[in-house]
Amino acid sequence: MTELLIVGAGGFGREVLTYAQDMELKVSGFLDENAGALQNFGLPVGVIGTLSEHRFAEGERVIVAVGDPLVRRKLARQVVAQGGQLFTLIHPTAYVARNALVEAGCIICPFAMVGAHSHVGWNTAINTYASVGHDARIGAHTVFSPYSVVNGHVTLGEAVFLGTHASVTPGKTVGLNSKISAGSVVSRTVEVGSLVSGNPAKGRVMFATQLDE
Ligand SMILES: CC(C)(COP(=O)(O)OP(=O)(O)OC[C@H]1O[C@@H](n2cnc3c(N)ncnc32)[C@H](O)[C@@H]1OP(=O)(O)O)[C@@H](O)C(=O)NCCC(=O)NCCS
């Protein structure tokens, strides 16, 4: 039987445990540097060690439950480098079009929606009520906060962060490692490594424009 390990024992990790319980999946524990992260939550499983020290067993699958795209990227690559296999969690209340492609390690949270012919790159997290429009291309490690919306034919680069209620209008492109502030409306191309805010979203390059190898 598949046993899930959740990397990250913060708030998102506890949410992901709940989703796994909804789906009657077996979670064997959390991997986190903070051994005491789950004290006082009364959960049936706790932190069993760190990712760096974990030796993956046959049948174990991993979910990276962290909300920062660059941290997600680092941890997921570490899992793969250590021989771990990522699990794709799609909550039963989410809608995923039958012809959408959702790659390994994605988390599709309750009431999220992934539209027709879209492609969601590996290790992407799509939080509650967020949506990916038809034909959208979503780069790996990207994080959709609750209620964020990417319309049809949008392209997001790798490791993009969308704040809650952010929207990207049809066909627009957001460069890799960019952050879209909560509530912003992107109606123009966002350059790689930018932080943009407001409606229409404006900003400038603030972050790395290339990701480490
Ligand atoms: C994208 C984000 C994380 C960037 O955070 P940050 O790097 O700390 O940047 P700041 O919040 O300091 O904002 C940078 C600038 O954008 C402005 N800004 C931030 N959010 C804004 C918004 N929603 N609308 C308009 N302007 C905004 C700030 O006022 C600041 O302007 P200044 O440089 O003139 O002072 C943050 O703006 C954001 O959206 N946070 C919400 C995240 C969220 O939705 N989380 C849900 C998790 S489940």
Task: For ligand 1, atom 5, name the residue with the nearest CA.
Answer: 181
Mean pLDDT, the chain, whole residue set: 98
H-helix or E-strand spanning residue 80: helix 69-81
Query: What is the rounded CA–CA span in Å between residue 127 and residue 16?
Result: 10
pTM of the model: 0.96
* Strand (E) or helix (H) holding 161: strand 161-162
Average pLDDT value for residue range 176-181: 98
pLDDT of amino acid 4: 98
- Looking at the DSSP bridge assignments, the partners of residue 194 are 205
Grade residue 213 by pLDDT with cuts at 50, 70 and 90. confident
The pLDDT tens digits of the residues spanning 189-199 come to 999 999 999 99
Q: Domains in the chain, start-ordered, CATH in brackets?
A: 3-87 (3.40.50.20), 90-204 (2.160.10.10)
Single-letter residue type at 62: V
Residue 10 pLDDT class (50, 70, 90 cuts): very high
Q: Does the Cβ of 141 fall within 6 Å of ligand 1?
A: no
Nearest to 127 by CA among 24, 20, 12: 12
Is 181's C-beta closer than 6 angstroms to any atom of ligand 1?
yes
Rounded CA separation 106/28 (Å) = 19
Neighbours of 98 (CB within 10 A): 5
Please give the DSSP secondary-structure letter assigned to residue 93: T
Maximum distance among all Cα pairs of the chain, rounded to whole angstroms: 49
Please work out whether the CB of residue 59 comes within 6 Å of at least one atom of ligand 1. Answer: no
DSSP H or E stretch at residue 194: strand 194-197
- Give the count of beta carbons closer than 10 Å to the beta carbon of residue 178: 28
Cα 197 to middle of ligand 1, angstroms: 7
What's the Rg (C-alpha) of the chain? Answer: 17
Say if CB 200 and CB 169 are below 8 A apart.
no
Q: pLDDT value at position 33?
A: 98
Pocket of ligand 1, candidates 186, 197, 205: which has the most ligand atoms within 8 Å of its Cβ, to mutate? 197
Confidence of residue 1 (pLDDT cuts 50, 70, 90): confident
- Using a 6 Å cutoff on CB, does residue 164 contact ligand 1? yes
Condensed to tens digits (0 to 9), the pLDDT of residues 81-114 reads 999 999 999 999 999 999 999 999 999 999 999 9
Side-chain half-sphere CA neighbours of 187 within 13 A = 7
| For residues 37-62, average pLDDT | 97
Ligand 1 centre distance from Cα of residue 207 (Å): 14
Per-residue model confidence (pLDDT) at position 76: 98
Is the preceding peptide bond at 200 cis, omega within 30 degrees of 0? yes
- Ligand 1 pocket member 152 (CB < 6 A): no
pLDDT in the model for residue 172 = 98
The SS3 of residue 4 is strand
What pLDDT digit, counting tens, does each position of 101-151 carry?
A: 999 999 999 999 999 999 999 999 999 999 999 999 999 999 999 999 999
Residues with Cβ within 8 Å of residue 98, at least 6 apart in sequence: none
